[in-house]
């Protein structure tokens, strides 16, 4: 076992056979943390972005955070209820993609798929960036290196996910539950201190005043104020991403899959709303203020000094004010768990993205190799693609949550809206054939829920588009359109090829009348002789050995060795006026082919099998070029006769010891 | 004809057939500028570097430039005389490499080759950098962009040389001759004005005083002064590089090759010494001062202002002082032609490097594809390698002549010294068998000349090593050692492989008893049916179609289509516990092979031939992996049966219209 192999095994664990797949199914108590971390973790940045956006209107803006929080909670509740219907109706895990495809059409499905693929990437980028931002409260030396640190975290998550879904589930459950306990505990203890004990808790930024160099600051009235509130609400809606992950992940649940998934979804909604409400309430009571440094604003402290950097995150400020003078370990626990949960939130996308990618590959919208499972039964190719795209994003935006959040949310609301419309049609169609009264009643109730969901998510989508388009959402939309067009093109390509290669009649099976074998000779040695022996063994109708004369002296020597070895096949020498090997040989094969149109030409090429890539540079280059060019000639098959040099044995053992997924990454 | 094809034709011209090679032989009047530009052009920087180094000793140092110049001229004369012997004794163009290999041994030859290869790269880098530096006198906006501009010039030279040696020769002759006339004319006119007309010509830097922040400046006495003079001399020896180019290029001369080459060599030496002597004399008479800005020195003008940038080049200063008030166009002509000749000097290396590389490839020290000529009969691969290495150098050193010159010269004196030693042995051995008295006398005279040459070049090599090693020459030495080791490793590899594959007896030609054919089936369509038809046409002893069951549903559908089409070959289904295609298929083939050790297994793989690289990503990935892995299995041949999709036709036409050299660059 080589070192790299050992490292790989350490990172991704043992192989899992297909029959072991059952074992990787998730019980509810594990599924909740695996699929819920995204939605839950957004309490670590959604309140921040709400307050930060409101700060554009100066100190007066912060008063609106209650209302924004309440609105987000309402939307969340409706979306959760809507998706419970989807989980029941479509237990196969296609989620929004399947709902849209089946009920509206393939194009609608593809729109949803593009939106979701882009949003999965953004989920990873935003969550990990926010995690790094939170980590800075404890590890200040990270400041200034957010991009690379976030990229590193994403690559670690990738490695964990290549181990397979079950093990990550177990590993992720404990911190997720601890996070819930910590946040809800902090909220309760804070409220208890304020409301019952009458403590006056004031956040570190409570007395800091927002100043801004922007000309319109402090002048937010009328429509401008509405627009600002809409933007704050849009950022707050980041809390809703991840809700749909469960509907894509139903097959990963234990049976009864749909019911377990629906229950988990309900629990998730309840916990998320509780946490978000708690944080916003506490932030208002302790008067947490946030600041958009990128918008040219700064704080002025009561003593007149100015603060030009971003404030600590909301959760960090709350944890400090609630625990600092009462239970200091609580502060560290909350900050640490928030950081952890954000990194784990990215894991939701690492579950959802490859599943969706695999379904799209099955339907011919993505390269087929994405459909095959890796040896860990997770879709390695999808996991790797997701990680690389997210790494690119955090490096480009230097892991700034405020910048990335402008791109976020659009995709998820596109898919919410389209999928709710699909569900509406689903129930309408189901009602057409259903006769049992209780079933009809259930369906009508579901249809009503989905109708409300459609209305609400549609409105939110319009609000998000209107308020964020110019702030960065256009980038996300461009990414979705490009993804859509690429998938469409791939599908068109596969369809065209399938039509072109479909069997059309008995002429497809017409046998060539004869086989004319041609052996390419560069030197006279064992590889050439082996190729000759193999060619003879196939007993072709005709067999000729051909060499190209580039250097007269060498050619003469070659002919002598050929004769010396009493080879019973004549060696034909082709002249090469341009001192070039490939061209004249190809021409020769073409001539044979033209002279015998009903025969098949089989070209034997001896190849050296070597053990290292640099040895490959020293051999087989002619063989490579000849094979590539002969491929364009119908009725010609190229036959590689490998000759294994000693150095190849080591390489073979390396491949054999290693698992097949190393090969699959090359692509299947 | 495609656009890229048209552009290529425009840049590199029409193809030349092998029989046209005679036409590209050079008459003396063309050979002189082609091979001499390197040695001649060094007058544009060698005097600069001599004065610049001497300036380290303050104003007193400049007085020594006469002596340094004289010493360089003496060495030049001896080296030219020595190489005239080589040209006569070895007309085949192997030059120093051949001399060292034949007379001392392959390792000595390889040492010379490594030294020369590295020095060719440096010739290009130094000449082009100096050319850009000179160009700045006329085009000041180039300042600060030296690296990229030099890189661009090198790439243009590469394109010119890919056109072939003859056309470049003609193109290069005119400016080289004009340069000789301009420099010698300037010297004569300057001397005439000073000595006959009694004009007092003073260079612009004549009254500028060198100051330095270095602690040891102005204190150069005793050994320190000797060391400084040695360094100045070493830099001046850059004038000698290029002398050996003729000895490597003898085959490019018209007949009588040796005599023509020797005459050209003598002419070259005479002209170079004249020009160098003239420039140094004139620089002394007009009191040109130079400065090592990188060493922390600066000029102080008579009015007290300080100058912290490099002075104009020596040729530039001379041209200005000689022509400014008498014949202004003369100034522009000299500067322009100096710039041109420096760019053309790099051309010497573009002639020598690929020739040497091709000889080394023939001897198995470099990858074999370097041996094959390009369609322009120049060694395209070598030209491209040289250009890329030189581009890397000028970008790394930002085209600073003073920095690059520290790496220079070592290589050329290594090869001078080793080759002179080889010539000594050559004559000694020749004398052993020669009996004719006049011939013996001639040989003894030649031996004497080479002995003097050996002594002198050996001493210079030691001086160069001692004075430049720490200033940068160590980089050149590392490059030479690496080149040496790589070539040694390549040679060892080819030797080992040749031994391993050499025919050893009749067992090499043992025929396998039977052919067992296996058809890989992924889908049932025309490509698969074509592969099946071809497989049947070869009438194997056994034939089975094999598919791997990754997805039960898909497999069932596949079997149905197979039956529906009444294929008369059974379709075998292999289970795949890891949902992986390649591994189980490879295992199956291995089992057939193990069960029938005396038979050969032929594996038929249908392949899609597509027209674009991105289509390639969507197809054939499984085929690629299977073929790669089967290569490691002895007794198995893989047969690609291509199915040409419509999109491939366009690509084929593209390849056919284009010339074969596009393929050769991929490597042969």
Q: Is the pLDDT of residue B508 over 90?
A: no
Q: Which of A256-260, A424-428, B626-630 has the highest mean pLDDT?
A: A424-428
Q: Chain A: residue nearest B600 by CA?
A: A534
Cα separation values, A86 from A80, A251, A356, Å: 10, 13, 16
Cβ atoms of residues B404 and B66 within 8 Å: no
What average pLDDT score do residues A572-601 get? Answer: 86
Please report residues of A whose CB lies closer than 8 A to that of B639: 602, 637-640
Q: Look up residue A379 and give its two tokens.
A: 């879709």
- A541 touches B: beta carbon within 8 Å: no
ipTM over 0.95: no
pTM, two decimals, is 0.69
Q: Is the pLDDT of residue A9 over 70?
A: no
Residue B189: Cβ-neighbour burial (10 angstroms; 0-12, 13-18, 19+)? middle
The predicted-structure confidence for A82-121, as pLDDT tens digits, reads as follows: 999 888 888 876 678 888 998 999 999 999 999 989 989 9
Under DSSP, the state recorded for B253 is: B
Q: Three-class SS string for B448-516?
A: HHHHHHHHHHHHHHHHHHHHHHHHCHHHHHHHHHHHHHHHHHHHHHHHHHHHHHCCCCHHHHCCCCCEE
Count H helices and E strands in chain B, helices first.
25, 8
d(CA B609, CA B645): 6
Cα separation values, B660 from A619, B21, B667, Å: 19, 18, 11
Q: Which of A202-216, A362-376, B21-35 has the highest mean pLDDT?
A: A202-216
- State residue A630's pLDDT score: 87
Longest dimension (CA), chain A: 107
Of B61, B571, B33, B505, nearest to B271 (Cα)?
Answer: B33
Please judge whether B602 and A639 are an interchain contact, meaning their C-beta atoms are less than 8 angstroms apart. Answer: yes
- Identify the H or E element spanning B219: none
- B581 touches A: beta carbon within 8 Å: yes
- State residue B473's pLDDT score: 87
The predicted-structure confidence for B286-306, as pLDDT tens digits, reads as follows: 988 888 877 777 888 888 888
Please judge whether A602 and B639 are an interchain contact, meaning their C-beta atoms are less than 8 angstroms apart. Answer: yes
Q: Is the pLDDT of residue A374 over 60?
A: no
Cβ atoms of residues A49 and A238 within 8 Å: yes
- B372 touches A: beta carbon within 8 Å: yes
d(CA B59, CA B56): 8
Q: Is the pLDDT of residue B435 over 80?
A: yes
Please judge whether B622 and A511 are an interchain contact, meaning their C-beta atoms are less than 8 angstroms apart. Answer: no
Q: Which of A179-188, A282-291, A463-472, B506-515 has the lowest mean pLDDT?
A: B506-515
How many C-beta atoms surround the C-beta of residue B148 within 10 A?
16
- State residue B467's pLDDT score: 85
- Provide the percentage of residues in chain A whose pLDDT is more than 90: 29
Q: Chain A: residue nearest B512 by CA?
A: A537
d(CA B394, CA B387): 11
- State residue B373's pLDDT score: 52
Q: Which of A159-163, A367-371, A476-480, B20-24 has the lowest mean pLDDT?
A: B20-24
Q: Which of A303-317, B100-114, B519-533 has the lowest mean pLDDT?
A: A303-317
Instruction: Give the number of beta-carbon pairs within 8 Å between A and B.
Output: 256
- State residue A219's pLDDT score: 62
Q: Is the pLDDT of residue B355 over 90?
A: no
- Identify the H or E element spanning B636: strand B636-644
- State residue B17's pLDDT score: 43
Band (pLDDT 50/70/90 cuts) for residue A445 is: very high
Q: Which residues contact B81 (CB under 8 A, 6 or more apart)?
A: B269, B449, B453
Q: Look up residue B20 and give its two tokens.
A: 């046209």
Coil vs helix vs strand at B605: strand
Coil vs helix vs strand at A415: helix
Coil vs helix vs strand at B547: strand
Q: Is the pLDDT of residue A377 over 60?
A: no
Please report residues of B whose CB lies closer than 8 A to that of A497: 608, 619, 645
- State residue B387's pLDDT score: 92
DSSP bridge partners of B640: A638, B605
Average per-residue pLDDT in chain A?
83
What average pLDDT score do residues A577-604 get? Answer: 87
Cβ atoms of residues A289 and A210 within 8 Å: yes
Pairing mode, strands B209-212 and B571-575: unpaired
How many C-beta atoms surround the C-beta of residue B79 within 10 A?
24
- State residue A215's pLDDT score: 59
- B536 touches A: beta carbon within 8 Å: yes
- State residue B106's pLDDT score: 92
- State residue B623's pLDDT score: 80
Q: Is the pLDDT of residue B283 over 50?
A: yes
Cα separation values, B590 from A93, B39, B237, B584, B605, Å: 38, 64, 65, 10, 16
* Long-range pairs of B325-331 with CB within 8 A, sequence gap ≥ 24: B326/B189, B326/B193, B327/B189, B330/B182, B330/B185, B330/B186, B330/B189
Q: Is the pLDDT of residue A598 over 80?
A: yes
What is the DSSP secondary-structure string of A555-566? HHHHHHHHHHTT
Please judge whether A582 and B494 are an interchain contact, meaning their C-beta atoms are less than 8 angstroms apart. Answer: no
What average pLDDT score do residues B328-341 get? Answer: 89
Higher pLDDT, residue A295 or B36:
B36
How many residues would you count in chain B? Answer: 668
Cα B194 to chain centroid distance, Å, stands at 44
DSSP bridge partners of A297: A212
- State residue B169's pLDDT score: 61
- State residue B1's pLDDT score: 40
Q: Which residues contact A475 (CB under 8 A, 6 or more apart)?
A: A407
Average per-residue pLDDT in chain B?
83
- Identify the H or E element spanning B549: strand B542-549
Count H helices and E strands in chain A, helices first.
25, 8
Find residues 459-518 of chain A whose CB sits inside 8 Å of chain B. 490, 493-494, 497-498, 500-504, 508-515
Please judge whether B600 and A502 are an interchain contact, meaning their C-beta atoms are less than 8 angstroms apart. Answer: no
- B14 touches A: beta carbon within 8 Å: no
d(CA B127, CA B44): 9
Please report residues of A whose CB lies closer than 8 A to that of B664: 580, 582, 625
Of B655, B129, B35, nearest to B399 (Cα)?
Answer: B129
Residue A618: Cβ-neighbour burial (10 angstroms; 0-12, 13-18, 19+)? buried
Higher pLDDT, residue A138 or B445:
B445
- Provide the percentage of residues in chain B whose pLDDT is more than 70: 88
Q: Is the pLDDT of residue B417 over 50?
A: yes
Q: Look up residue B61 and give its two tokens.
A: 């140092």
Phi-psi region of B602 (alpha: psi -120 to 50; beta: other; left: phi over 0): beta
- The Cα of A283 is separated from the nearest Cα of chain B by a number of Å equal to 51
Q: Is the pLDDT of residue A661 over 50?
A: no
- The Cα of A396 is separated from the nearest Cα of chain B by a number of Å equal to 26
For B85, phi then psi, to 5°, come to -65, -45
Q: Three-class SS string for A201-261?
A: CCCCCCCCEEEECCCCCCCCCHHHHHHHHHHHHHHHHHHHCCHHHHHHCHHHECCCHHHHH
Q: Is the pLDDT of residue B319 over 60?
A: yes
Under DSSP, the state recorded for A635 is: T
Of A21, A20, A458, A38, nearest to A246 (Cα)?
Answer: A38
The predicted-structure confidence for B535-559, as pLDDT tens digits, reads as follows: 888 888 899 999 988 778 888 988 9
Q: Chain B: residue nearest A652 by CA?
A: B632
The predicted-structure confidence for A240-293, as pLDDT tens digits, reads as follows: 887 877 877 787 788 888 889 899 999 999 999 999 999 999 999 998 988 887
d(CA A328, CA A311): 20
d(CA A322, CA A441): 49
When scoring B92, B366, B618, B648 by the number of chain A Cβ atoms within 10 A, the one with the most, hence best to mutate, is B618
- State residue A444's pLDDT score: 92
Of B635, B535, B34, B431, nearest to A609 (Cα)?
Answer: B635
d(CA A122, CA A292): 21
Cβ atoms of residues A240 and A76 within 8 Å: yes
Of B373, B540, B404, nearest to B468 (Cα)?
Answer: B404
DSSP bridge partners of B601: B516, B636
Cβ atoms of residues B386 and B356 within 8 Å: no
Higher pLDDT, residue B145 or A334:
A334
Q: Is the pLDDT of residue B14 over 60?
A: no
When scoring A536, A631, A662 by the number of chain B Cβ atoms within 10 A, the one with the most, hence best to mutate, is A631
Band (pLDDT 50/70/90 cuts) for residue A78 is: very high
**Helices B165-191 + B257-285 axis angle, to 10:** 30
d(CA A290, CA B628): 59
Q: Which of A290-294, A529-533, B273-277 has the lowest mean pLDDT?
A: A290-294
Cα B347 to chain centroid distance, Å, stands at 10
What average pLDDT score do residues A40-57 get? Answer: 87
Q: Look up residue B495 and give its two tokens.
A: 């030797």
How many C-beta atoms surround the C-beta of residue B141 within 10 A?
7
- State residue B184's pLDDT score: 94
């Amino acid at each position: 076992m080589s070192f790299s192999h050992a490292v790989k095994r350490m990172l991704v664990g043992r192989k899992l056979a297909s029959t072991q797949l059952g074992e990787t199914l998730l019980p509810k108590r594990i599924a909740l943390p695996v699929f819920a971390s995204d939605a839950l973790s957004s309490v670590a940045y959604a309140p921040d972005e709400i307050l930060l956006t409101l700060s554009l209107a100066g100190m007066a803006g912060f008063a609106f955070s209650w209302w924004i929080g309440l609105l987000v909670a309402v939307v969340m509740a409706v979306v959760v209820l809507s998706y419970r219907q989807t989980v029941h109706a479509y237990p196969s895990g296609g989620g929004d993609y399947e709902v849209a495809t089946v009920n509206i059409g393939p194009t609608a499905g593809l729109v949803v798929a593009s939106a979701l693929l882009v949003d999965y990437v953004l989920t990873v980028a935003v969550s990990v960036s926010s995690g790094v931002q939170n980590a800075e409260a404890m590890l200040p030396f990270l400041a200034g290196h957010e991009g690379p640190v976030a990229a590193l975290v994403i690559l670690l998550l990738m490695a964990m996910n290549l181990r397979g879904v079950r093990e990550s589930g177990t590993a992720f459950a404990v911190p997720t539950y601890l996070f819930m306990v910590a946040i809800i505990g902090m909220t309760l203890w804070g409220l208890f201190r304020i409301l019952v004990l009458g403590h006056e808790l004031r956040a570190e930024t409570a007395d800091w005043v927002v100043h801004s160099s922007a000309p319109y600051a402090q002048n937010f009235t009328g429509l401008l104020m509405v627009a600002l509130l809409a933007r704050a609400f849009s950022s707050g809606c980041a809390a809703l991403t991840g809700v749909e992950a469960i509907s894509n992940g139903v097959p990963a649940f234990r049976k009864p899959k749909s019911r377990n998934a629906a229950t988990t979804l309900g629990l998730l909604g309840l916990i998320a709303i509780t946490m978000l409400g708690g944080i916003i309430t506490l932030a208002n009571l302790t008067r947490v203020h946030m600041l958009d440094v990128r918008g040219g604003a700064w704080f002025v402290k009561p003593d007149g000094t100015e603060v030009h950097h971003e404030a600590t995150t909301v959760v960090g400020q709350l944890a400090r004010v609630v625990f600092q003078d009462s239970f200091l370990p609580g502060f560290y626990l909350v900050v640490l768990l928030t950081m952890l949960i954000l990194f784990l939130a990215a894991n939701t996308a690492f579950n959802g993205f490859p599943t969706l990618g695999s379904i799209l590959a099955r339907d011919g919208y993505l390269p087929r190799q994405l459909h095959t499972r890796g040896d860990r039964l997770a879709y390695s190719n999808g996991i790797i693609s997701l990680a690389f795209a997210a790494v690119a994003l955090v490096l480009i935006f230097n892991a700034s949550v405020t910048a990335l959040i402008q791109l976020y949310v659009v995709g998820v609301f596109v898919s919410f809206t389209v999928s709710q419309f699909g569900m509406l049609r689903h129930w309408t169609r189901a009602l057409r054939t259903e006769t049992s009264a209780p079933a009809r009643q259930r369906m009508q109730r579901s249809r009503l829920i989905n109708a409300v969901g459609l209305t609400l998510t549609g409105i939110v989508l319009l609000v998000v588009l209107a308020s964020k388009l110019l702030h960065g959402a256009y980038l996300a939309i461009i990414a979705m359109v490009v993804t859509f067009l690429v998938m469409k093109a791939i599908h068109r390509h596969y369809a065209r090829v399938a039509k072109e290669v479909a069997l059309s009649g008995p002429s497809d099976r017409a046998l060539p009348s004869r086989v004319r074998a041609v052996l390419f000779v560069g030197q006279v040695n064992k590889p050439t002789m082996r190729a000759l022996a193999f060619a003879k063994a196939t007993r072709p109708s005709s067999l000729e050995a051909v060499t190209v004369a580039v250097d007269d002296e060498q050619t003469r020597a070659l002919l002598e060795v050929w004769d010396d070895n009493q080879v019973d096949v004549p060696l034909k020498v082709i002249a090469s006026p341009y001192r070039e090997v490939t061209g004249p040989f190809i021409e020769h094969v073409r001539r044979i082919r033209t002279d015998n149109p009903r025969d098949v030409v089989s070209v034997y090429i001896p190849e050296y099998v070597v053990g290292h890539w640099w040895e490959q540079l020293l051999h087989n280059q002619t063989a490579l070029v000849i094979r590539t060019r002969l491929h364009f000639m119908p009725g010609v098959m190229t036959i590689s006769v490998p000759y294994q040099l000693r150095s190849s044995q080591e390489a073979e053992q390396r491949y054999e010891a290693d698992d097949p997924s190393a090969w699959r990454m090359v692509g299947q």
